[in-house]
Chains A and B, each alone.
Chain A
Amino acid sequence: MEKEDKRQLVHIAIGIAAVVLLLSIQRPQFVAVTFAIILLGLLLINLRFLDKKLEIVEKIVGLFERENVRFAGWGSACYATGVLIIATFLTGTDSIIAGIIILALGDGMASIIGKRGRIKLPFNRNKSLEGTLAFFVFSLPAYVFIGQNGIAIALICAIVESLDLKLDDNLIIPIAYVLTYMLIT
């Protein structure tokens, strides 16, 4: 299994863990935990910048971090921030779970399938049609939580994810999800 595939599987697993956590505790506690994780993560990123490296952090970075990133931990920080955006700006547990599913499962599977795709998108040569379709299909479980709005939102998020925006996917997808959800419902 390639490193990027492992990375995406961890991405999906963390999303599922977040859903389980949200179902186990109340929304305020979930927001507080996510908020604390981000602050702790930022502290660890700062320590790494200052060459004060912790063994466990280095192992995780070595196992899962991409090589061409802005800095180690950037993707994870964006992901946690994305979850926080969904959990703070939406109030219903179902809508938050649907958002996390789209962010974790949709985006994760889009990366795994998309990089094996052969049909490049005309407006973004870095992404493939197969990846965008995978995003949409694997975002459909959102339907279970928010009904048919989930299909429309999954489609819009898939389109937004396929665009060549300068913003990280882990940030743009939650923003697109929250805005679309607020406008549709």
Chain B
Amino acid sequence: MTGLISLAIMIISLAAVVITEKRIQKQLKIIATVIVAAIASYIIGATGLVLVNPGIYPAMSFGLMTAYLNKESFWIFFLLALAMCFFEAWSDSANLFGIAAALPVGLLSFYLIDNNLGMNNGKGR
């Protein structure tokens, strides 16, 4: 049930992307960020190299939020990310460290997509 709440928030977030962003290229960039954030969080947790498992949903939310850093609609994604963190913590899906670790993962995911994969090359954000 609690996992469903996180999934619902993520679906709402992605729906908000479609509503607030009309450019297909930007939408693809955001979706790529979300996918990279999810994969990176999963891999970090699965390798067992570090003791902290970054929350997959929070990382996706933070990646999405970062993509809107220069937009008026940033606060929507900011609140959605906070809501995601709250429900993840409330449902014991992620602890403080898992949520905190998700922030760098989300930020880095967007940074890598924006900067290194040749998608807009950091311009026109």
Inter-chain CA distance A81–B115, complex, in Å, is 17
With contacts A46-B74, A166-B116, A167-B111 known, is A84 near B104, CB below 8 A? yes
Kindly state whether residue B72 has any CB partner on chain A within 8 Å: yes
A45 touching B69, Cβ below 8 Å: yes
Inter-chain CA distance A136–B101, complex, in Å, is 27
B101 touching A88, Cβ below 8 Å: yes
Interface class of chain A by DSSP? helix
Measured as residues with beta carbon below 8 angstroms from the partner, the interface class of chain B is 20 to 34
Interface size on A, residues (CB 8 A): 32
With contacts A31-B97, A46-B75 known, is A182 near B50, CB below 8 A? yes
- 1/0 contact trace for B94-118 toward A, CB 8 Å? 0011011101100110011001100
Q: A residues within 8 A CB of B83?
A: none
* In the complex, number of A-B residue pairs with CB atoms less than 8 Å apart: 69
With contacts A43-B78, A45-B69 known, is A182 near B49, CB below 8 A? yes
B69 touching A89, Cβ below 8 Å: no
- 1/0 contact trace for A81-94 toward B, CB 8 Å? 10011011111000
Q: A residues within 8 A CB of B111?
A: 167-168, 171
Kindly state whether residue B122 has any CB partner on chain A within 8 Å: yes
Kindly state whether residue A22 has any CB partner on chain B within 8 Å: no
Instruction: Using CB atoms, name the residue of chain A closest to B44.
Output: A89
Q: What is the distance, in angstroms, from B124's C-beta to the closest C-beta of chain A?
A: 13
Instruction: Using CB atoms, name the residue of chain B closest to A30.
Output: B100
A88 touching B52, Cβ below 8 Å: yes
Kindly state whether residue A28 has any CB partner on chain B within 8 Å: yes
Q: A residues within 8 A CB of B103?
A: 35, 38-39, 81, 84
B residues neighboring A (CB under 8 Å): 49-52, 65-66, 69-72, 74-75, 78, 96-97, 99-101, 103-104, 107-108, 111-112, 115-116, 122
Cβ contacts A to B, 5 pairs, < 8 Å? A32-B96, A46-B71, A85-B104, A171-B111, A183-B49
A residues neighboring B (CB under 8 Å): 28, 31-32, 34-35, 38-39, 42-43, 45-46, 49-50, 70-71, 77, 81, 84-85, 87-91, 166-168, 171, 178-179, 182-183
